[in-house]
A and B are shown apart, each in its own frame.
Chain A
Amino acid sequence: MGRTTSRNGSSVAPPDYAALVRAASSGDRSATERLLMKAQEVAYRFSLAACGHSHDAEDVMQDALLKTYQHVASIRRPGAFRTWLYRTIKNACLMRRRRGVSEPGHLLSLEELLPSSVDAPSDPGRDPAQTLEDSQLRRRIGKAFKGLPPVYRVVVFLREMEGLSTRETAGVLGISEANVKTRLRRAHLQMRKELSA
């Protein structure tokens, strides 16, 4: 699978969690550290996408760190780790929301929603005008994404930005595949409206 690594080290395409989990569960310290960092990073980004509060994101990160650390030695199906992680993070976000600790919160800043790849070096073979246009579109996407209701934002995050399938997204969010498709469709239509305004 093609991969793009952004300036903050986050990946547009899903990383190979299964290999990392296998190495970590066999006692590889470096793999465990990388897995724990990935878990926190995904938790931070998911939490921002779902709740829009960076102070919640820090707590959700700690939760993901502890649960991943406790869970990694007992993992039987490394291939299922990724959806387990997203589900764990989603539940942590939900718990915080139920406890009402996310209000009032620090709203997602524009800086945090800047495209991950906005400062990436441009391809020298590309048309500079097209590169500029794409970069502007990514910035506007960030704003349109921010404007989505959380239930749509989290589906766009999982499907388009994290590269989960419809089935995986449904599993993480505990909704039907038809519902994932409906939310994604509505999210894109809403973003389209925002982008063409």
Chain B
Amino acid sequence: MTRSRAHTCRACAELLVDYVKGELSPSRCRSIERHLTDCAGCAKFQSELRREIAACRAHGGPSMPAAARRRAQQRIRRIMDGALRSQ
């Protein structure tokens, strides 16, 4: 890899998340797209990043266990019943 190519790949990697999230200006998008058509490594990185972001969405983050859900429901019942009694 030439030094100038390495520099462009580094700049591309820095901007790729913003590019995938649609948060770059049209001119920067065009510049990234030009680089992606020329560089198989960055193109692969981009497709992996897209999969990673989709997997994050599908993962959905930490889950709430059933026991915590039951306690949450009990708290709601207590707060709602207390409000009714005070009316």
A195 to B51, CA, bound (A): 11
A40 to B71, CA, bound (A): 10
Query: Is there a chain B Cβ closer than 8 Å to A94's Cβ?
Result: no
Instruction: Tell me the smallest distance from the CB of B67 to a CB of chain A, in Å.
Output: 10
Question: Contact residue range for chain B?
Answer: 20 to 34
Binds B, one of A74-82, A85-93, A99-107, A155-163: A155-163
A-side residues, CB < 8 A to B, are: 4, 6-12, 29, 32-33, 36-37, 40-41, 44-45, 48-49, 54, 57-58, 61-62, 65-66, 69, 108, 111-117, 134, 137-138, 141-142, 145, 156-157, 160-163, 166, 181, 184-185, 188-189, 191-192, 195-196
- Number of A-B residue pairs, CB cutoff 8 Å, is 132
Main secondary structure of the interface of A (DSSP, over half): helix
Known: A58-B68, A188-B17. A40 touches B55 (CB 8 A): no
Question: 29 interchain pairs (CB within 8 A)?
Answer: A4-B60, A10-B63, A12-B57, A33-B80, A36-B76, A41-B64, A48-B62, A54-B68, A62-B75, A111-B65, A112-B63, A115-B58, A115-B59, A116-B59, A117-B60, A141-B52, A142-B59, A145-B56, A145-B59, A156-B56, A160-B53, A160-B56, A161-B61, A166-B21, A166-B23, A189-B17, A191-B52, A192-B52, A196-B48
Q: Which residues of B contact A157 (CB under 8 A)?
A: 61
Instruction: Tell me the smallest distance from the CB of A61 to a CB of chain B, in Å.
Output: 6
Q: Are B59 and A184 in contact (CB under 8 A)?
A: no
Q: Are A10 and B64 in contact (CB under 8 A)?
A: yes
A163 to B53, CA, bound (A): 11
- In the complex, residue of chain B having the shortest beta-carbon distance to the beta carbon of A166: B23
Q: Which residues from 9 to 36 on chain B have a C-beta closer than 8 Å to any C-beta of chain A? A: 13-14, 17-18, 21, 23
Report, nearest first, the 8 A-B pairs whose CB atoms are least far apart: A116-B60, A161-B61, A48-B62, A160-B56, A40-B72, A185-B17, A8-B63, A115-B59
Known: A185-B14, A185-B17. A44 touches B55 (CB 8 A): no
- In the complex, residue of chain A having the shortest beta-carbon distance to the beta carbon of B66: A8
Known: A188-B17, A189-B13, A192-B52. A36 touches B60 (CB 8 A): no
Instruction: Tell me the smallest distance from the CB of B47 to a CB of chain A, in Å.
Output: 12
A111 to B66, CA, bound (A): 12
